[in-house]
Amino acid sequence: NSTADASVLNNTKSVKTGELGTRGLDRISSRKRKIMLKSSGVEHLDPKEAEELKIIRENRGRVGCDCKGPCDPALCACAGGGIQCHQESPGSPCQCREGECGNPAGRYMFDPTKVQMHFIQTIMDTQGAFSIA
């Protein structure tokens, strides 16, 4: 079993990357979604829901602030929303720069090493790597 544990820890790239991110999620058609919902016992599908979901999808595409250089809390979309500015990669999704962000909620910078370490720690915890038997 330790061989299997080691392979999980050493080969984290084996997680299927799907169209919608790292969890292997792929977009499904409206027709397939309706079939799945009905087969799961949903009796009534509200037609307004489709429009609400479309608005949610469109809004997900508009994220982050477009501050250039110093972030002015009075003009920053993130600060106005009471959330941290966020940087996944340089200029995305927020345009503000480290050290120049004036957002009172702060600024989060994605750290892939920190994410990888969290993943490894979670695997070790769930598989009892730190258990004393």
Mean pLDDT of the chain: 78
- For the sheet containing 85-89, what is the strand order? 92-93, 85-89, 107-109
Mean pLDDT, to the nearest integer, of 115-119? Answer: 90
Mean pLDDT, to the nearest integer, of 37-58? Answer: 87
Residues 99, 101, 104: CA angle, nearest 5 degrees: 120
pLDDT value at 75 more than 80: yes
| Least-confidence region, from 16-20, 26-30, 90-94, 124-128 | 16-20
Asked whether the whole model's pTM tops 0.75, one would answer no
Mean pLDDT, to the nearest integer, of 16-27? Answer: 62
Residue 29 to residues 36, 44, 50, Cα–Cα distance (Å): 11, 18, 12
Higher per-residue confidence, 23 vs 122: 122
In angstroms, the CA 78 to CA 42 distance is 37
73, two tokens: 């809390």
Of 70, 73, 101, give the one whose Cα is nearest residue 87.
101
Question: Dihedral of the CA atoms 19, 25, 29, 30 (nearest 10)?
Answer: -130
